[in-house]
Amino acid sequence: MTKIGTASRARVLTGDTPTGRLHLGHYVGSIERRLEMQDHYECYFLLANMHAFTTRAEKPEEIRADTIEIVKDWLACGIDPEKSTVVLQTEVPAIAELSWFFAMLIPFNRVMNNPTIKTEIDTKGLGESYPFGFPLYAVGQCADILAFRPEWVPVGEDQVPHIEMCRFVAGKFNQVYCGVGNRVPEEKHVESGGVFPVPKALVGRIARLPGIDGKQKMSKSLGNAIFLSDAPEEVKRKVQKIYTGRQSPTDKGDPQNALMQFVDAFIRAPGRAAEIKGRYSRGDNIGDGHVKAELVEAINALLEPIRARRAKYEGQGGDDAVIEIIKQGTRRANIIAEETLAMAKGKMGLGFFDRRLGIS
Ligand code: TRP
């Protein structure tokens, strides 16, 4: 992989809102990168279950089930709880506290003009009636990240505006409370006394995978997704549906169409994707059906070990095993997050006394 950072164990944080099963877009956009990173970095993977309540507050059972399912998908993909820390957002109180402090540093209009928030209000059809907590999640996401003081945040392209806001608030905090001058370059904030490194987004190999409709990005809610847990036959059926509009193996095909984007994402044998795309664009006797058959094979080869690992958690005791992993990870996470909160409060003149809540 590309060399990222210099320290051998720089910290990484990223997360997912539990909204259902993961699909291939998640895999190539983000999961794949996490798998590479967990061997080289101190990784924290956050279950943003609080955020799920921003649009589904009246469906707590569904959110709980989705939270467990997403961990099963992570584990199935190869996220290894021995190497990486799985964090449950709602059991890290420092995140909620930091959210308040950060909310004081981020202009209201900056949140409301965040393009990802705007798009979501649109695509989720939230209209005018979304709760106060919906835009607030973007502030909360700054706290999710900064509680761990990471250097890197691997995310999909749509999350970049959130990371920008996080970078803004990290810098602002360091300037307002830690005496970091506003000319100090971001990579020097910590050595200049800032609590927070200014973290950087890392966008995955495939920033945007189209859905099988060939139009919009792959998304569960658009019904155009191939899920990591789909059976081989289901994968085949869905790949066959990828729409291109091309008629014959000798038609010159568009090397950027949805099918070719899938080829780029999933045909990984060296040179093979380029070869297919070359022949496709020349109309060199290569039918869509031909390409699709090869694609089905490649995707199923990728998913086979994922399905096998997932099966271990699908039986009896699976949920308990997952909850234990979440519990252990969250315990480790709270050590770091509490440390961050104490550092931040210290700088804010809030270090009146050591907090002892009298609970064990
Ligand atoms: N908002 C992210 C998403 O929907 C999930 C998320 C929550 C996240 N907190 C995070 C991602 C912190 C990266 C870092 O995909």
**Average pLDDT of 272-293?**
96
**Average pLDDT of 45-61?**
97
- Whether the pLDDT of residue 137 is over 60: the answer is yes
- Whether the pLDDT of residue 197 is over 70: the answer is yes
Q: What is the structure's pLDDT at 2?
A: 44
Strand partners, 308: none
- Whether the pLDDT of residue 6 is over 80: the answer is no
pLDDT band at 357 (very low <50, low <70, confident <90, very high): confident
Ligand 1 neighbourhood includes 139 CB (under 6 angstroms): no
- Dump pLDDT digits (tens) for 121-134: 988 888 888 999 99
Q: What is the structure's pLDDT at 1?
A: 42
Q: Whose CA is nearest to atom 11 of ligand 1?
A: 15
Residue 246 Cα to ligand 1 midpoint, Å, equals: 37
- Whether the pLDDT of residue 354 is over 90: the answer is no
Residue 138 Cα to ligand 1 midpoint, Å, equals: 9
Whether 134 and 57 have beta carbons less than 8 Å apart is answered as: no
Atom of ligand 1 nearest to the CA of 162: 1
pLDDT band at 199 (very low <50, low <70, confident <90, very high): very high
**Average pLDDT of 265-283?**
96
Instruction: Return the percentage of the chain with pLDDT > 70, whole number.
Output: 97
**Average pLDDT of 212-237?**
94
pTM of the shown model: 0.93
| Mutation to probe ligand 1, out of 16, 30, 67 (largest number of atoms < 8 A from CB) | 16
Residue 17 Cα to ligand 1 midpoint, Å, equals: 6
- Whether the pLDDT of residue 3 is over 80: the answer is no
Ligand 1 neighbourhood includes 145 CB (under 6 angstroms): yes
Atom of ligand 1 nearest to the CA of 154: 13
Q: What is the structure's pLDDT at 359?
A: 64
| Mutation to probe ligand 1, out of 26, 37, 46, 119 (largest number of atoms < 8 A from CB) | 46
Ligand 1 neighbourhood includes 210 CB (under 6 angstroms): no
Q: Following CA atoms 90, 347, 170, 198 in sequence, which dihedral angle do they give, to the nearest 10 degrees?
A: -110
pLDDT band at 42 (very low <50, low <70, confident <90, very high): very high
Q: What is the structure's pLDDT at 360?
A: 60
pLDDT band at 222 (very low <50, low <70, confident <90, very high): confident
Residue 289 Cα to ligand 1 midpoint, Å, equals: 37
Q: If you average pLDDT over every residue of the chain, what do you get?
A: 94
**Average pLDDT of 113-142?**
93
